[in-house]
Structure 1
Amino acid sequence: MESQRQFVSKCVTKKSVGRRTTNASSSRWQNSLCYTLGLNSTCKKVCKKFFLATLGEKFVAGCVKSKTNTGTAGRDRRNVSSPKNLVSKRLTDDQLLYARNHISSFPAVESHYCRANSTRLYLSSELHQSKMYKLYTETCLSSRRVPVCKSINRKIFKSLNLSFHTPRKDQCHTCTRHYLITEGEKQNEAESFQQHQSRAKRAREVKNAITDVIKVNESRRRMTPNKNSLELVSAYKGPIPLPPAKYKDLMDLCHTLVSPKTFHEYYAALPSSESTRDALGESDVEEEDPEDL
């Protein structure tokens, strides 16, 4: 690719405009491009349209634009980017420390009952990273410091294991107040706060002990009767007999082979009684007499 750029740079030369149709002072066109190709150790001038159509107009324009004073093409800067850690290398330890101290200056509380072993700290729900970064840049401006970029500030925030989501059912007013008071007040209330922590620890131990007792082992689970439940009594002690008319209809279906043979024995074994009343009402459809057909 580099040799191709050098070839195009050699074939395209820049010269002053030879002929003008407008006033030179009002025209922005100061130079003209001459396109040539080598033939028998000589340069032959060729058509611009042919030259650009063959080698590509954008490629030729890029080579001409990057051409140096020596007549060679400049370095191809496509797909060239600075290293990802270039910004981090330019930062000083003082900048990183100042950004870290600024984030740590916001009051944070730790998790309580639901998260006994968690090391994450929680900031006020009124804060967010954009607001904190804005306050940080204002502080740097007032103290004439160069702030770190927002992405670096976000990485520092994550490294401190902080969160803005305040636990809903996981708050203790005593602990929250203790973390928000001054150091002098903390020393005065150190003994009472230690007793509060001990009570919280004992409460957690009792909670864990009860949880272990009420856990259900899947391999030993069984159903236990409820003494307050009512026992349902069967409404019928045996099969309900059919009315004679209904039984006769089933037998007619069997004799005429309308019903499959596999059900004939089942229908024949059904009980029938004269005392059983047909629950269905009389049909509104009049049956046709076979003699009329």
Structure 2
Amino acid sequence: MDQDIKSLLECIISEIELNNMKDLLTSSKRRRRHVFNWKQNIRKYLCQSGKSYVDYKGVYKPERSIKTLKDCKLKCKFKCGLQIVESERERVHSSFWRLGNDEKMEFYNKNVERHYKSRATTKKQNSYKKYSYFYHFIVNNVKIRVCKEFFLTTLDISQKRISYFFENFKNNDNITSSYSYRKGKHKKKTIDEALKAHIRNHINSFQKIEPHHCILNTKRWLLDGSLNLKIMYSLYQDYCKENKVDWLKEHYYRRIFNSEFSIGFTNKKNQCHFCKEKWVSEHNTLEALDNSQYFYDYLNKFKGGLS
């Protein structure tokens, strides 16, 4: 296996381990998304870096490499092979595939020129060719013109990339427009952090019950069993009305509760025979056990007296 691919995989594995450690330190009710670990994003990163990968159809795509289609030392108008040696070609190739999408656009802008054709090679009025492209490489701060085959085979790309750049990011007068890579960068609606803070403060205002007996080995805290998210959101609206602040929709409340807190709701399973017997001996009734808040207030007081 290629050494660069090994180092890339080690970087991905270390990122996965780091994300797992973050989950242990900041646990929540629901599993967090780790976008970097998604197979499609790993595949996209390998593709953009020129590494070998397997696409979503299961087809193997080989690594990008320098190719030679013709003898550019003797059979070339610009004598590209004599002006740029193989070591420089390898340097240009490796540096190009380390660039991001925006930097690749900048590379095309600096090294490729497009002009209207100066002469016609056919008498047809509707000629397919409209433009002439001039290709360059910058070596030792010197801009050297090369032929089309030498340019494309050095980078191992197709002519479609260059045509797409000029059709979509640069106009015919050679004035560069904004060629930022816009995919996935649409502006999303953002929620004011102050409004989110009100939700967190409201959730923290509820009295939490320590897990007991059958769910003792857990990091989750419990709320009274008479509560649920619907009731909590209704109380949150009343809380905002009293404080004269705006409130967010219910799905935001649920999202923060499930993603930032590790809290559940208690039930009758969170009891043990020892505590029940203690309760019965002091109160001479089992009727009050159905009142979970009353029972757990007593339970917390009793456990505090043991410690």
Bucket of the pairwise TM-score, normalised by the shorter protein: 0.3 to 0.5
Greater relative contact order (CA < 8 Å, ≥ 6 in sequence): 2
- For normalisation by structure 2, the TM-score amounts to 0.31
- For normalisation by structure 1, the TM-score amounts to 0.32
User: Per residue, is there more helix in 1 or in 2?
Assistant: 2
